[in-house]
Amino acid sequence: MSKLRQDADAIIQAAITAAQPDEAVRKALEGRDFGSGRVVLVAAGKGAWQMANAASRILGSRIDTGIVITKYDHSKGPIANFTIREAGHPIPDENSFTATQQALDLVSGLTAQDTVLFLLSGGGSALFEKPLIPAADLEELTHNLLVCGADIVEINTLRKRFSGVKGGRFAQLCAPAHVVSIVLSDILGDPLDMIASGPAYPDSSTCAQAKEIVQKYHLPMTEQMLTLLEQETPKALDNVETQITGSVRQLCAAAAATARTLGYEPLILTDCLSCEAREAGVFLANMVRYQRTAGRRIALIAGGETVVHLTGHGKGGRNQELALAAAPGIAGLDGCAVFSVGSDGTDGPTDAAGGFVDSTTQAALKAQGCDIFATLADNDAYHALQKCNGLIVSIVPWRNLADYDKLCKSFVGDDARIVPDGPCPLFHPIILRKATGAHCAPGMHVLCPSHIINQPVENGLDHSGTLC
pLDDT at 172: 95
**pLDDT value at residue 410:** 45
The pLDDT score that the predictor gives to residue 317 is 93
What DSSP string runs through 176-195? TSEEEEEEE--STT--TTTG
What confidence category does residue 274 fall into, taking pLDDT thresholds of 50, 70 and 90? confident
- Average pLDDT of span 142-162: 87
Mean pLDDT of the chain: 82
pLDDT in tens, 367-415: 999 999 999 999 999 999 999 999 998 544 443 334 444 444 444 444 4
User: Please, which residues have CB within 8 angstroms of residue 241's CB and are 6 or more apart in sequence?
Assistant: 178, 179, 180, 181
Flag whether pLDDT at 451 surpasses 80: no
pLDDT at position 426 over 80:
no
Q: Is the pLDDT of residue 49 over 90?
A: yes
- Among 38-47, 221-230, 346-355, 425-434, the range scoring the smallest mean pLDDT is 425-434
Give the pLDDT band (50/70/90) at residue 251. confident
Q: Which residues contact 310 (CB under 8 A, 6 or more apart)?
A: 146, 147, 379
Give yes or no for residue 119 having a pLDDT over 50: yes
CA atoms of 180 and 24, how far apart (whole Å): 13
- Residue 285's pLDDT is what? 97
pLDDT at 188: 60
418 or 292: which leads in pLDDT:
292
The pLDDT value recorded for residue 194 is 65
SS3 4: helix
Residue 305 has what pLDDT? 84
- The per-residue pLDDT for range 67-91, each reduced to its tens digit, is 999 999 999 999 999 999 999 988 8
- Cα 290–chain centre separation: 31
Most confident of 123-132, 134-143, 177-186, 382-391: 382-391
Are the CB atoms for 426 and 397 separated by under 8 Å?
yes
- Asked if the 264-393 domain carries CATH number 1.10.1740.10, the reply is no
CB-based burial, 387-399: b 16+ in 10 Å, e otherwise? bbebbbbbbbbbe
Greater model confidence, 236 or 296: 236
Q: What CA–CA distances, in Å, run from 162 to 133, 196, 269, 451?
A: 6, 14, 37, 40
Alpha-carbon separation of residue 194 from 120, 158, 317 (angstroms): 12, 11, 22
Q: What is the mean pLDDT of residues 341-346?
A: 80
Q: Say which CATH class 17-248 falls into.
A: alpha beta
Residue 196 DSSP one-character state? G
pLDDT at 397: 44
Residue type, 466: T
* Residue ranges covered by each domain of the chain: 17-248, 264-393, 398-468
Which pLDDT band, with edges at 50, 70 and 90, does 260 fall under? very high
Q: How many CB atoms are closer than 10 A to CB 419?
A: 15
**Mean per-residue pLDDT, 9-18:** 83
Highest mean pLDDT among 186-195, 294-303, 328-337, 422-431 belongs to 328-337
Residue 210: burial class (beta carbons within 10 Å; 0-12, 13-18, 19+): buried
Report how far residue 319's alpha carbon sits from residue 284's, in angstroms, rounded to the nearest whole number.
13
Predicted confidence at residue 190, as pLDDT, reads 63
